[in-house]
Amino acid sequence: MLLKSRMSLAKLVMAKLLSVFLFMEVIASGFRFGVDGLRMDYYIMTCPFGEQIVKNAVDRALDDDPTLAAALVRMHFHDCFIEGCDGSVLIDSTQDNKAEKDSPGNLSLRGYEVIDDAKNQLEEQCPGVVSCADIIAMAARDAIFWAGGPIYDIPKGRKDGRRSKIEDTINLPFPTFNASELIRAFGQRGFTAQEMVVLSGAHTIGVARCSSFKSRLTGVDPTLDSDFAKTLSKTCSAGDNAEQPFDATRNDFDNLYFNALIRKAGVLFSDQTLLTNAKTRAAVNGYAMNQAMFFLDFQQAMVKMGMVDVKEGGKGEVRHNCRKIN
């Protein structure tokens, strides 16, 4: 028991040190923090228990349904990749506007109730202070740690966007993208090929539906292991909505996703293509051999992703209800 406590303490101390290094790297990378800019301690005076409220809401939800860890991470990605990290993915459609969440690429998103729960509690404690965009970013971070991944801090102070249009979701990467297309899509948002690979490692938790990979089963796919192809075919025999885990530990954040790619057992074409492309193969091999390196690079990339096209100051708002604009 004492050994476990010491290990937990050591992990937390290391996390704090990594957070300092990450913060210094973020600044050095050119991210500017203005008067209304993002800060690690953004809510220290206005909502000091805000992060703990979010973490408690996430922990309760994941204790009841561990599969929500992957859902919350995916929600954060889908939010940031469209209009920037501004909570626009949370907005419900209205009679006059079809919102992002109703696009085909977002229909399988889950976990909205976790964000609602955290927001409701935050509005009771410190009304009008913590943005929905920050809640998504914190929830994704806490979900990763809950699943056994790295613990890290993130800058906060994002404002919520006032736009959510279904047509904007055309910018989401498709599961049929090859590595070159993925490199281009992520590059347009400031990510390197290596950062794209490490963010793809989020697929170490979660599942894919048959509809997103069944095209690989219609012919002979040289990048797909023949035995694993039979596994995918068996999954799809239950229909388009049948789910296939990305790796053998669907609720554990580890590096088995990359080991699966080396065995030609990537579920999506956009997964397996990372091994076949010369620009991304070395990163896949590296993360498959070194989980610690994957964890470190992943948390750095997540901090960077969480700052894509953020709204600050008057460019956004703090929604009272995450599902609708004030």
Q: Catalytic residue positions? A: 78
Length of the chain: 326
Exposed, middle or buried, 45 (CB in 10 Å: 0-12/13-18/19+)?
A: exposed
User: Which H helix or E strand runs over 13?
Assistant: helix 2-28
Sign for the CA dihedral angle at 106, 90, 130, 57 comes to negative
Residue pair 164/99 in contact (Cβ under 8 Å)? The answer is yes
3-state secondary structure 247-262: CCCCCCCCCHHHHHHH
Spatial separation of the C-alpha atoms in residues 184 and 282, rounded to whole Å: 18
CB atoms within 10 A of CB 301: 22
Residue pair 129/82 in contact (Cβ under 8 Å)? The answer is no
